[in-house]
A and B are shown apart, each in its own frame.
Chain A
């Protein structure tokens, strides 16, 4: 029996696990549930030795388990199949399955034994696959099965499956669940992390529900729960009501940004949205629902295959971010500030002024003075803490970096802003300041599309909330800022959607 008790894991500014407890018995399927950001991934990473907990203890059959790295977890017989693929596409099925313990004879790989091992593991799953086929030629579902086979090859007693059906069709998922039941019947413990409640109820025996890093249910038999009770447990999240000044949005105004029946090369279908000046439209969804990809398609970084995009009532054809900025005054604050939002090795002033060099330049030269004045103006307005204007962006704290990432669009005088996950990885205090800042921008008349996976944040800030699920808009709700009611409605909307998909 695998028991994790009172696990604590703190990241700068965030307590990701705050007394999480998990009990998993052999021969059972255990569901690990929780909202975005509740701590599920962190818990999986602690159990597989990727993170070391700051507190609490893990025991396996009563023995203390110290996991200082993924190898320790493997040695203890804890295997994991991550949501993202970890297979090497150019290698064969057999090579991938035996990757961490290739059978060899005097340094030469014993291919016959490797194939036999692959057949044995695939046989346990009752899967017919050619061990010599390169993984690149497999479907996502087959890839998933190979990953499970790989985990079985390591003789794991506990198997963690993180969102195993995210990329599978209904039939494929059914097959996977048959496999999961077979693993359970062979005496293994399976931990299933999933957003899809239907599936969880179909296959799991016991459950743990995480909320704000704490277990609000741990190890109880699933039979005693109804689906709506589980939803209540998930969303009853600690919620500090931020008192933000109420704004009036002119519902008659011409939308600043309007999408009508937009489809993209990424797979979005029939996306229709409207954001009016002075309005915050929340775009909520699970991670992977396709929200950032939609934003990037609007900016010309992805292809729009059907439908229309209108800016201030006029059709807009946007091919590049530069065009979005100059012709339509539309900016995008990325969710990935380190990779896409900032130039970490460059000065703060340059990071802010980069979008306006074109405007500041005289005869192709950017006057230092004007750049500095403009940048410092926004440093002051957004209260960005810097020691000198020449400081490089990489030395700032996360919150200040995020402000710099936002400042460049304000400097560029945008009147439509797409803000993607603005408060990820930011401590609570700075988060509140950020919320005020965003509300203030809307009060100044900007149209904001707020992409967020943080439900309390979305409900606190948005005037209306669009829920995205599987690359479609599942619905748009008027936000009455009644958190318990809004959150239930939204969660149900997402689950209804995935349910319809599975049927």
Chain B
């Protein structure tokens, strides 16, 4: 009905300003896809082994899965304009609970996973509760929490295990580590060469996408991030939404911890130690703002993929670890600067981003 009536109104005092369309090249997702294609072509040209399924593509998919889920954990609180600096340690605590439940109670994979996820969720909820009740900045609260958990995790692992990792894994974890769908056949038809951890990450991404796109909970989190005063004055229980977003962040961090444990073949104290930076990179490269109010799940998928492709490619080109970090840092800076440049050019051309 809006389209039909607009024509007749154009003569009125207030002319309808038609917002200029955002040019396709100003969409950060498009930039990421182009960058990805270029990098894959470059790495393949330099080292044809980059397209080797067993050597590169299968482990690459496992890594992308882990870091996609890590990015999603951070995305949950970025929707509020918050940060979760304890994302890695929440993953570690969650993984510890999974290992403990299996090791001490002999529980199976599913029970261990669920209890671990709950532990992660509770830790996140605690952070959210402190933030929403005290009004202290999320950065400070989760940073403090991270410090506390670092110590706690070491203490827990030394008191329950040999100090490094649980000695056993629930049945089925090895399959997650080594198998792809190609190992499972119905008669002559076998699955693609996709590791078994991938569906976990895909499901997580779909659920988070669904949450923000269609659910009241996710939308109200975004509104809280967009303008907390207006959200409060629109009847949104903003404090609850803050707690819930942080709880989900902890829970998803727990899933990332589980996937990494599956990839590494152990529930160990070191899980999550490398999560913090990538957790921001994936969403931010994908166009999610630190300010809150807008998220992109697809962008997070692309961001996580890009980071891992760069990492894998440079690794294959036999860069040393320190060089690797230097170049990844430079590539990411370049990517972010390009993104900013695109925004500025698009804005000059009159598009409101």
Residues on A facing B (Cβ under 8 Å): 299, 301, 320-326, 332, 334, 339-346, 350, 354-355, 357-358, 361, 364-366, 368, 376, 379-380, 385-389, 391-392, 395, 397, 399-400, 408, 412, 427, 429-430
Give chain B residues whose Cβ lies under 8 Å from the Cβ of A341. Answer: 230, 233
Q: Is the Cβ of B2 less than 8 Å from the Cβ of A340? A: no
* B293 / chain A contacts, CB cutoff of 8 Å: 343, 345-346
Contact with A along B220-250 (1 / 0, CB 8 A): 1011001101111111110000000000000
Q: Which residues of B contact A365 (CB under 8 A)?
A: 210, 214-216
Determine the distance from Cα of A368 to Cα of B214 in the docked complex, in whole angstroms.
8
Cβ of B343 to closest chain A Cβ, rounded Å: 14
Contact assessment for A350 and B219 in the assembled complex, using a CB-CB cutoff below 8 Å: yes
Residue of B nearest to A364 (CB): B215
Tell me which of B14-22, B127-135, B159-167 binds A.
B14-22
Q: How far is the CB of B208 from chain A (nearest CB, A)?
A: 14
Contacts of A364 in B (CB 8 A): 215-217
User: Nearest CB to that of A331 among chain B residues?
Assistant: B235
Q: List 16 A-B contacts (CB under 8 A).
A: A301-B232, A321-B232, A322-B237, A323-B235, A339-B227, A340-B227, A340-B229, A344-B226, A344-B227, A350-B219, A354-B234, A365-B214, A366-B219, A386-B2, A391-B19, A395-B19
**Extra 20 A-B pairs, beta carbons < 8 Å, given A342-B227, A354-B234, A380-B5:** A321-B233, A339-B230, A340-B233, A341-B230, A343-B226, A345-B294, A346-B293, A354-B220, A354-B231, A355-B235, A357-B219, A364-B217, A365-B210, A366-B219, A368-B214, A376-B1, A385-B12, A389-B2, A392-B19, A397-B14
The 6 closest A-B pairs by CB, nearest first: A322-B235, A325-B235, A343-B226, A357-B216, A387-B18, A361-B216
- Interface presence of B11 (CB below 8 A): no
Whether B13 sits at the interface, judged by CB under 8 Å, is: yes
A320 near B230 (CB under 8 angstroms)?
Answer: no
Which A residues touch B226, using CB under 8 A?
343-346
CB within 8 Å for A332 and B227 given contacts A364-B217, A395-B17: no
Chain A residues with CB under 8 Å of B233's CB are 299, 301, 321, 332, 334, 340-341
A343 touches B214 (CB 8 A): no
Query: Closest CB-CB distance, A337 to chain B, in whole Å?
Result: 9
Of A320, A322, A379, which is within 8 A of B2 by CB? A379
A342–B235 contact, CB under 8 A?
no
CA distance A379 to B12 in the complex (A): 16
Across-interface contacts of B340 in A (CB, < 8 A): none
Q: Is the CB of B215 within 8 A of A366?
A: yes
Is A321's CB under 8 angstroms from B234's CB?
yes
* Residue of B16, B229, B231 touching A387 (CB-CB under 8 A): B16
Complex CA gap A175/B171 in Å reads 84
A388 to B229, CA, bound (A): 26
In angstroms, Cα B219 to Cα A368, docked, is 12
Residue from B14, B216, B217 in contact with A400 in the complex, judged by beta carbons closer than 8 Å: B14
Nearest to B239 among chain A residues (CB) is: A320
B188 contacts the other chain (CB 8 A): no
B338 to chain A, nearest CB (A): 23
Of the candidates B17, B230, B352, the one whose C-beta lies within 8 Å of that of A343 is: B230
Contacts of A408 in B (CB 8 A): 234
In whole angstroms, how far apart are the Cα atoms of A408 and B215 in the complex?
19
Question: For the complex, is B322 an interface residue (Cβ under 8 Å from A)?
Answer: no
Distance of A395 Cα from B215 Cα, bound (Å): 26
In the bound complex, residues from chain A placing their C-beta under 8 Å from that of B214 are 365-366, 368
CA–CA, A400 to B17, complex, Å?
12
What's the Cα separation between A332 and B229 when bound, in Å? 13
Q: Flag if A376 contacts B2 (CB, 8 Å).
A: yes
Q: Closest CB of chain B to A227's CB: distance in Å? A: 40
Q: Which residues of A contact B2 (CB under 8 A)?
A: 376, 379-380, 386, 388-389
A427 contact set on B, CB distance < 8 A:
13
- CB pair A350–B223 under 8 Å, yes or no, is yes
B216 to chain A, nearest CB (A): 4
Give B210's nearest chain A residue, CB to CB: A365
Shortest beta-carbon distance from A383 to chain B in Å: 8
Contacts of B6 in A (CB 8 A): 387
Q: A376-B1, A376-B2 are in contact. Are A399 and B14 (CB under 8 A)?
A: yes
Residue of A nearest to B10 (CB): A385
Across the interface, which residues of A come within 8 angstroms of B13, CB to CB?
Answer: 427, 429
Min distance, Cβ A346 to any Cβ of chain B, angstroms: 6
Q: In whole angstroms, what is the CA distance A376 to B5 when docked?
A: 12
> What is the distance, in angstroms, from B185's C-beta to the closest C-beta of chain A?
37
Of all chain A residues, which has the CB nearest B18? Answer: A387
Could you say which residues of chain B place their CB within 8 Å of the CB of A379?
Answer: 2
List residues of chain A with CB within 8 A of the CB of B217.
364
Q: Tell me the bound Cα distance from A324 to B1 in angstroms.
A: 32
What separation, in Å, do the CA atoms of A207 and B11 have in the docked complex? 45
How many Å lie between the Cα of A427 and that of B14 in the bound state?
Answer: 10
A388 CA to B16 CA, complexed, in Å: 10
Q: Cβ of B216 and Cβ of A358 under 8 Å apart?
A: yes
Q: A334–B16 Cα gap in the complex (Å)?
A: 25
A235 to chain B, nearest CB (A): 29
Q: How far is the CA of A387 from the CA of B235 in the complex (A)?
A: 28
Least CB distance from B12 to A in Å reads: 8
Chain B residues within an 8 Å CB radius of A386:
2, 16
Chain B, Cβ-Cβ closest to A357 = B216
Shortest C-beta distance, B294 to chain A (Å), equals: 7
Q: Which of A321, A339, A395 contacts B352 (CB 8 A)?
A: A395
- Which chain B residue has the least Cβ–Cβ distance from A394? B352
Contact of B234 among A344, A355, A429 (CB under 8 A): A355
- Could you say which residues of chain A place their CB within 8 Å of the CB of B234? 321, 354-355, 408
Residue in B14, B18, B220, B235 whose CB lies within 8 Å of A324: B235
In the docked arrangement, what's the CA distance between A400 and B9, Å? 14
Q: Please name all residues of chain B whose beta carbon is closer than 8 Å to the beta carbon of A339 when the two chains form the complex.
A: 227, 229-230
Residues of B within 8 A of A392 (CB): 19, 352
